[in-house]
Amino acid sequence: MIPVVVVTSSYLLGCINTGYYLVRLLTGRDIRTTASGGTGSRNVGRLLGAKGFVITLVGDSGKGALAVWLALHSNTFPWLPYAALLTVIAGHIWPLQLACRGGKGFAAFAGGMILLDPKVLLAGFLLSLLFLTILRRTTMSGLLALACSPVIMAIGHTRSGLPWWSAEFVLYCLIVMIVLYAHRSNIRRDFFGHSRAATGKE
């Protein structure tokens, strides 16, 4: 499977925004106008309960895993699975059919990393738990751990005798950057004390 097909398919897969279509199907409402305005599992769970939370989480993480799985089995370039994860997340955050107003990409990121580099994902999760014991803020702890994860990946590659500076590492850094960018309202609020009212709705 040629790279352009993998990348395009991953983006289109990402555009299938689980939370948005689930809420549309069950209630006819636009989840982006409810509570936090996000399409992720936490916001869907506020409206649909635990089942909505689980379905959205599984759907969003599943499409991240599927995009990476397809790239891994394409037998082409070693960097392609990272490119697939990047584009499936981009599709989730900026779906064309929803006027580029989608989710924040964390679940799709986690689903893809389960296949790509579970050690980095696990280390990031443990680091977020450490931050959580200090900060008592779930989102803040997760974002800090995500921001630190490129360093974790670089250390892991170096200890394994692999070059840490590679196309895969650069693509991973881009993945982290777009997920952090999608959470910019959370970052402004949690780290700088700026409310949504003060900064404008995302």
Half-sphere exposure (CA, 13 Å, Cβ side) for 194? 13
pLDDT in tens, 56-107: 999 999 999 999 999 999 878 999 999 999 999 999 999 999 999 999 999 9
pLDDT in tens, 19-32: 999 999 999 999 99
123 or 163, which is more confident?
A: 123
In angstroms, the Cα distances linking 4 to 38, 70, 116 are 30, 13, 19
Q: List the one residue out of 43, 20, 29 whose CA is nearest residue 99.
A: 20
Which residue is it, tokens 């499977």?
A: 1
Q: Where are the domains of the chain?
A: 1-116, 117-202
Percent of the chain residues topping a pLDDT of 90: 77
Residue-level pLDDT at 1: 61
- Give the mean pLDDT of the chain: 91
- pLDDT > 70? residue 13: yes
- pLDDT > 60? residue 198: no
Residue-level pLDDT at 107: 95
- pLDDT > 80? residue 195: no
- pLDDT > 70? residue 129: yes
Residue-level pLDDT at 197: 43
pLDDT in tens, 94-109: 999 999 999 999 999 9
Percent of the chain residues topping a pLDDT of 70: 95
Beta carbons within 10 angstroms of residue 119's beta carbon? 12
**Token pair of 194, please?**
């700026």
Which residues contact residue 101 at a Cβ distance below 8 angstroms, ignoring those fewer than 6 apart?
A: 32, 95
- pLDDT > 90? residue 199: no
Half-sphere exposure (CA, 13 Å, Cβ side) for 182? 29
For residues 105 and 61, give the distance between their C-alpha atoms in angstroms, rounded to a whole number: 9
For residues 31 and 44, give the distance between their C-alpha atoms in angstroms, rounded to a whole number: 7
**What is the torsional sign of CA 12, 17, 20, 23?**
positive
Overall average pLDDT of the 195-199 stretch:
45
